[in-house]
Amino acid sequence: MAMMRLRREDPRVVGSFRLHRRLGAGGMGVVYLGSDRRGQRVALKVIRPDLAEDQEFRSRFAREVSAARRIRGGCTARLVAADLEADRPWFATQYVPGPSLHDKVAEEGPLSAAEVASIGAALSEGLVAVHEAGVVHRDLKPSNILLSPKGPRIIDFGIAWATGASTLTHVGTAVGSPGFLAPEQVRGAAVTPATDVFSLGATLAYAAMADSPFGHGSSEVMLYRVVHEEPHLLDVHDALAPLVRACLAKDPEERPSTLQLSMRLKEIAAREAQGLHERRPPAPRGERELDRPTGRLPGPYTEQHTRRAAGPGPETRPPARRPSSGRPAPARTGGSRPQASRGGTPVGKRPHGTNGTHRTNGRPGTRSGVRTTSAGKNGPRRPANPRLLRQRLVVFVVVTLLVALGIAAAQGCQGPARGLGGTPSQTQDRAADHPRGSDGP
């Protein structure tokens, strides 16, 4: 909210509040930023001198302030203090930091369907509390809605219209913002909670289109359109248009209640928020998480990325090696084009499933190939070193040959010993097979 310095004619102290800045001026008086002795900040409005001399105004003002004290709820600016007997009556409400809905839309443009529905649901809930206290706001518009960090807040409830029992101070002249007044206000009929519903519908349409649903023009033209013409809602989000149109019905009996609005807008806000999450643009076919048209990934493709993409599956494997080359397959980088995964996974998507396999160079990393990693309790093991495997194989073969030669030599040495030390029959048989010549029997 814009603040201005105090002018020479502005008071410095009102009641127990010290004034610091001007927050704005309206038809009833000037609004100041003040604080009490404890440092609590308030928005304090001082009534104009000409209205202070009107006894009828003082009476109606007192009734409105009394009703405002009964309002409970977090979507309104709480009334802090008031002095109805002062020379210039005043009242102070809780200061709400944050821009108005009007300023936010003027600076940032139309809001999304989820934002409009969320703000509308909070405002509807606030109006339920206002109406239960016997107060009708009668001037609900974007500039009277402040967007605080804790949610939207309604200000100037029920007091801006305290100057008369009807909406007309003079014949043919309506007090308020013409684009947000209800038809019954323009006609001078009694106001009801349905009057605030019409104003809320026009406010939501403004938030969705950044424009009034009845266009622009002089006060007379705008008031005529409100009574006789239908609102223009072509730019309102499809999810909100039927509900906004119902709020802008000419007949107050055809408008939904604030409670119905609150429940319906909460549903739309939740659905639209979920829809925004689901309607994120998918990656182009054959490309994965592109950051530019070249098809490169935003970062190197590592085992960590594979594990994150595979999810909580029982096993996650990096790209498999080629069995014929004996060299590990190089890790994927941004320049390579990802291949389709096993099991019909769409191209451009990282593999998901219970086996956690994916293709590398056109070969599936399944059990038929060489499995380079396996998931254990402590995470995937590092790929084996082919050079170390060859060294181990050579050592194994050499040791095997040495053991075999040792066994053969041992058997050769034991043969004669067994011949000399054998049984007599065995010794005679061998002597018969190998005669000794002159030394024979």
Catalytic residues: 139
Q: Are 29 and 46 in contact (CB under 8 A)?
A: yes
DSSP codes of every residue in 207-276: HHHSS-TT----HHHHHHHHHHS----TTS-TTTHHHHHHHT-SSGGGSPPHHHHHHHHHHHHHHHHHHH
R_g of the chain computed on alpha carbons: 44
Looking at the DSSP bridge assignments, the partners of residue 4 are 22
Q: Which amino acid is at 372?
A: T
Structure tokens at 289: 């998480």
The 3-class SS string of 160-189 reads CCCCCCCCEEECCEECCCHHHCCHHHHHCC
Q: Are 144 and 155 in contact (CB under 8 A)?
A: yes
E runs forming strands in 254-380: 359-360, 363-364, 375-376, 379-380
Distance (Å, whole) CA 352 – CA 354: 7
Compute the C-alpha angle 56/61/64, nearest 5°. Answer: 130
Instruction: Show Cβ contacts of residue 370 under 8 Å, excluding neighbours closer than 6 positions.
Output: 320, 321, 323
Q: Cα–Cα distances in Å, from 234 out to 197, 237, 239, 302?
A: 20, 8, 12, 49
Q: Which amino acid is at 167?
A: T
The single-letter DSSP state of residue 279 is: T
